[in-house]
Amino acid sequence: MIKRSDLQKISKLDSPKGQLLSLYLPLFQDSNDTDYNIKLKNLLRSADQRYKHEAGKELPDEFDELFEDIRIYIRDNSTKYGRGVALFATPGKGILASYSMPDTIESSAIVDERANIAPLIRLIEDYAPYCTCIISRNHARMLIGKLDEIEEHSQLEDDEVPGQHDQGGWSQSRYERHIEDHVHRHFKRVAQQLFDMLENNEYHHLILGGPEEVVSGFEETLHQYVTDRVIGHVRILMEANINDVRQNSMDVLEQHITDRKQRLIDAVESESAARDLGVKGLAATMEALQRGQVMNLIVDHEVRSSGIVCQSCGAMSVTPAEGNTCSYCQASDIRDMDNVIPALITSAFEQGASIAVIDQEDQQEQIGKLGGIGATLRFRVEE
C-alpha cells in the first residue's frame, strides 16, 4: 500500500533531461502477454505523441530502449504487483520506482519534467488504511485494511472475565459488579491498543464491529483521538471469516467516502454561490490555488482541459497572458498542456489541500453544474 511518504519521494524524482515517464497499468489476471503488449505499446505511443505536442519536440531515441525494458520488466514481474502497477522511469537510470496498484487504476502514460502523482493522490485520499475492531465482552480482534486487501493484526482475550458458574457465594449485585469490572478493564486494554496503533500511524479510519450494546459500551472507553477516527459500525460475529469482515468494512468505507464527497460538493456549491469561501470552475480554482487559498479541491474524474503551466513559478492558467508570458512572474518559460488537471491536483495536494475526485453519476451531475471543478477556501481575498 502506497503511503504519503512515498508520494513525497516520488515527487522528488527527477530526470537529467527533464523527461520522466509515469506509467499506470491495470494487470488483469485473465489477460495474456499479447494483450499486455498491445495495451502497453499503445500507452507508450500516446505518451510519445503527447510529449511531442506539449514540448514541441520528439522524445530522444533512448526512450525506445526504455520502453522495451519496461515491457520486459512488466512481463516478468506482473505477479509481483497483483492487480495493477505504477511505474516511474527515465532513460539512463531505468526504472526509478514501482508500486502495486488496485485494478481500478486508470491506464495512463505521461512524460514530463515531474512525476504524475495525481492518480496516487486519489488513492491516498479515498483509501487511507483502516482498522476494523470486532469487540465482545472478553475478546477483541483487530484487522488492518489497505485498498482492497485486509489482514489480521492482533487479538486480545481476557480469560479472567467470570461466567455464571463462578458466582459461588457472592450476592447477585456484587457478582454483577465484579463481572462489569473485568469487562471494563478488558475494554480499556483494547482501547489502549487502538490508541497505540493510531499513534504509530497504522490506520486512519476505525470501524467497530460486534453486538450493538457491546460496541456502544466499548466506544465510551476510547480516547477522543480514537473516537474521532470512527466512521461506522457493523454487526458481525467475532468468528466471521476474513472475507466477510472485508466486505462489511468496505461497505462502511465506501459510504463514508460518498458522504464526505457529498458534503464537500454541497459546501462548494453554497460557498461559491454566496461568493464567500468557495469558488467554482477551472479559471477561478486556478487563481485560488495560486494564492494558496484552496482547502478542499473537488474535481470530476472525467474532466479534461488544456491549460498553461509556468515552468518557473508553477502558476497555471487556462490561457497565457499577452505576449505568451506567465501572468504572475512574467516568465516566458511556459508550457501548453493537453490536460492540466493532473498538475492542478498535484499542486493542491502539495499545498496541503484535501482532494476529492468525484466518480458517482449523481454527484458528477451536481458538480457538472459548477464547471466540473471547484474548491472551498482557507480564507477570502477582498476584491
Nearest to 269 by CA among 177, 367, 180, 201: 367
**Where does the pLDDT of residue 55 fall: very low under 50, low under 70, confident under 90, or very high at 90 and above?**
confident
C-alpha cell at 204: 486512519
Where are the domain boundaries for CATH 3.30.960 in the chain? Answer: 4-116
Nearest to 245 by CA among 348, 141, 338: 141
Q: What share of the chain is helix, strand, coil (3-state, %, to 5)?
A: 40, 25, 35
* Kind plus residue range of the DSSP H or E element containing 203: none
The answer to whether 223 and 191 are in contact (CB under 8 A) is yes
Where are the domain boundaries for CATH 3.30.1330.30 in the chain? Answer: 259-377
Tens digits of residue pLDDT in 64-82: 899 889 988 888 887 787 7
Which pLDDT value is given to residue 175? 52
More confident residue, 61 or 271: 271
Indicate whether 94 pLDDT > 70: yes
Give the strands of the sheet with 354-358, arranged side by side.
Answer: 278-280, 373-377, 294-300, 354-358
Which pLDDT value is given to residue 74? 85
Tens digits of residue pLDDT in 6-27: 888 898 887 767 789 999 988 8
Q: What is the CA radius of gyration of the chain?
A: 25
**Where does the pLDDT of residue 302 fall: very low under 50, low under 70, confident under 90, or very high at 90 and above?**
very high
Q: Which CATH number fits domain 130-240: 3.30.420.60, 3.30.43.10, 3.40.50.360, 3.40.50.300?
A: 3.30.420.60
For the domain spanning 259-377, the CATH number is: 3.30.1330.30
- Pick from 30-34, 204-208, 228-232: least confident: 30-34
- Pick from 147-151, 302-306, 356-360: least confident: 147-151
Indicate whether 125 pLDDT > 90: no
Domain covering 4-116: architecture? 2-Layer Sandwich (3.30)
Where are the domain boundaries for CATH 3.30.420.60 in the chain? Answer: 130-240
